[in-house]
Amino acid sequence: MDKEKLKSLKRVIEKLPEEEAQRVIKALEHGEKTGYATIDRPWEQFYSKIKKNNIFLDTTPYQGLVIGNKNYPDEKAIEYFGANITFGELLKNIDIVAKSLEEYGVKKGDFVTICSTTTPEVIYIFYALSKMGAVANVISPFYSPEELMSRINECESKVVIMVDKFLPKFKNELNKEKNKNVIVLPMMNSSLLRLISKRYKIDGTTNETSWKTFLSDGRGREEAIIDLYEPEKPQAMVYSSGTTGASKGILLSVDSFQKLINAYGNSGFDTSRRQKVYQNIPPWHSTGLSLGINFPLSFGVKVCTDPRFDHDVFIKNVLRFRPEYILTNTSMYQGFTFDKSLRRMKGKSLEFLKYPVEGGETLTEKDVANIEGVFRTHGSTARLLNGYGQCECGATVTTDITSHKFSNSASGIPLPDITTIGVFDDEFRELKYGQRGNIAVKTDIGMIEYFKNPEATEKFFYTDINGEQWSLTGDIGYINEDGSLVVLGRKSDYSIINGNKFYNFDIERAILQSNTVKLCEIQTHPADDNRLVAHIVWENEINALLKKNPEKQEEYLSELQEIVLKTMKSSDAVPYSFCVRDGFPSAQSGKRDIKFVKNDIDNLIEVNKPQIKKLVK
């Protein structure tokens, strides 16, 4: 019998009543489903006929890039604001950057801080550090200067590479650190706009060095020696969002990157050369580094990147790049359904689009249907491929695959050979298919640790009876019988109204059952935690109708209240305050800007029908 199934059986039956344990054992002996996903592993059936090619195992990202592209120097690797860079130029520039980093004292195991959007130079730096065996410490520019310096000093980073657009915010704090080398990277350095873009003027009285000088300083050195693969060797550090406390450094290994792309290559995706991906996920998210940069480039897929999170820019770039792949956050795809986008796409074809991949936030079945409807009317047969992941779990936990259509509410299945998923109660008893609980993940590509934070690391992991380590994601969901995962929302995403606890995502899903609402966000009132506010975006046709008949809006809002009451079975779950919006703003991360939405209540609408307040018996 399969070793993995036996280990899962041991863990599951440990906490089951005797009668249920015997039933599970007999089902497994007879080759039947036991009802427990970690034993049945139903996702494996979808990979059984795929021929495996494990070329990226036991490599570093730099080694994998060379293996995949050394024979294709003239093919295009990167497009950035009109400039095209070949694989030959990419490998040459990586070598140049590696020499300069060595000139500035960087050696194996050192951390080099990067604070930039995805520019070609960031790609060079990432692979140069991999070549040297050093670690990329990738920091978001949205921290305070004090927070940024704390993260730089925690990993003892002596070299800080910062894009010029971000530097003014941090200049004073960085200049206090005289032992730091601050390399100033022009955002448009590799673009066709570099000649007309305003340049940051290097302050010669500080520790600042221009990118041009940095490269020049290393040209006289011999080429950096290639550091070889070692299991679990640190490769990059990104940071948690801080939604559940102080932001933490997430240390990822070479295996987090290479086992991931190897598994994607064995999952059925078309990874043939000379395709294009349009991606705009920033590098301070592990998805941006692993799936937005390392995955496509390793397979010879051209990366088209634009750091701007704007729906109109996004649609314009899709039409301009004509990519087979798109990788971006969920909120960007919702832009396909906006009136302005539909007008821009009128008469245009999307037939080139094969793999639109999204993640970062959950989508409802209606969201997926609406977005795919736009694809269909513009000539593409592509399905919106949903995914679920966390930086702590190496970016990808589950993903849609190309050979099977899962439900629109699901986020796909685990990738082959690297990940197992399960849903558990608070005592880590595994739950059956369809039962909601805590999502946990056993993966070969997860983080090494929360950097220098053993207490948080220990809290994040659970070690089972077999001595195997599970990541506790903090998300609520369930697993379908086909092995696909449905992510409902964060365990912390709840409101307490009159002493009763409600998950906000349950109320949102109830409202989205209506065919009148496109988007919904439930938050409590910023001045009253006992008061729910429903932030909604009407469907296009309803919005047009209400512009002509504004008096009908309260009628539609009352209908939403009735749907929530019927679904949630409690009047306390019914929102009596509404904010009607044209759309939801995106934060710089690309996700919905929840903080802004919660506090933006200038046009609050109160709907308080007496009959709605009657409790359902």
- Encode pLDDT of 454-499 as tens digits: 999 999 999 999 999 999 999 999 999 999 999 999 999 999 999 9
> pLDDT per residue over 48-62, tens digit each?
999 999 999 999 999
Q: Kindly list the distances between the CA atom of residue 562 and the CA atoms of 171, 221, 354, 428, in Å, as whole numbers in the listed order.
A: 54, 72, 40, 36
Distance CA 108, CA 27 (A): 52
Burial tier of 550 (Cβ tally within 10 Å: 0-12, 13-18, 19+): exposed
> Residue 303 above 80 pLDDT?
yes
DSSP, residue by residue, 559-605:
HHHHHHHHHHS-GGGS--EEEEES--PBPTTSSB-HHHHHH--TT-E
pLDDT one-digit tens code per residue, 310-321 = 899 999 999 999
User: From CA 137, how far away is CA 154, in angstroms rounded?
Assistant: 11
602: left (phi over 0), alpha (psi -120 to 50) or beta: alpha
Nearest to 358 by CA among 317, 423, 303, 408: 408
Could you tell me the two tokens for 314? Answer: 């996004």
Looking at domain 493-613, which CATH architecture does it have? 2-Layer Sandwich (3.30)
Query: 174 near 146, Cβ under 8 Å?
Result: no
Residue 617 pLDDT exceeds 70: no
- Matching CATH topology for 60-69+78-228 and 493-613? no
DSSP 425: -
What pairing do the DSSP bridges indicate for beta strands 111-115 and 449-450?
unpaired
Over 50: is that where the pLDDT of 68 sits? yes
What are the tokens at 572? Answer: 């306390």
pLDDT on residue 585: 79
Task: Give residue-wise pLDDT tens across range 584-615.
Answer: 876 655 567 888 999 998 889 999 865 554 44
Q: Cα 294 to the chain's mean position, in Å?
A: 14
Q: Give dist(CA 85, CA 275) in Å, integer.
A: 15
Residue 203 has pLDDT above 90, yes or no: no
Q: What confidence score (pLDDT) does residue 369 get?
A: 86
Superfamily for domain range 60-69+78-228: ANL, N-terminal domain (3.40.50.12780)
Residue 81 has pLDDT above 50, yes or no: yes
447 DSSP 8-state letter: -
DSSP track, 205-241: TTTEEEHHHHHHHHTTSPPPPPPPP-TT-EEEEEE--
pLDDT, tens only, 149-169: 999 999 999 999 999 999 999
Specify burial of residue 144 (Cβ count, 10 A radius: 0-12, 13-18, 19+). exposed
Domain coordinates of the chain in residue numbers?
A: 60-69+78-228, 493-613
**200 DSSP assignment:** P
Average pLDDT, stretch 135-142?
96
Answer whether 0.75 is exceeded by the pTM.
Answer: yes
In the sheet with 181-185, reading across from the earlier edge strand, the strands are 208-210, 181-185, 159-163, 111-115, 135-138, 234-239, 249-253, 449-450
SS3 340: helix
Spatial neighbors of 398 by CB under 8 A, at least 6 apart, are: 387, 388, 389, 411, 412, 413, 414, 415, 419, 421, 484, 485
Cα dist. 215→131, 183, 194 in Å? 17, 10, 17
| Residue 237 phi, psi (nearest 5) | -130, 125
Q: Mean pLDDT lowest for which of 28-42, 127-141, 330-344, 472-486?
A: 330-344
Question: What pLDDT does 443 receive?
Answer: 98
First-last CA distance in the chain: 50
Mean of pLDDT values over 390-405: 93
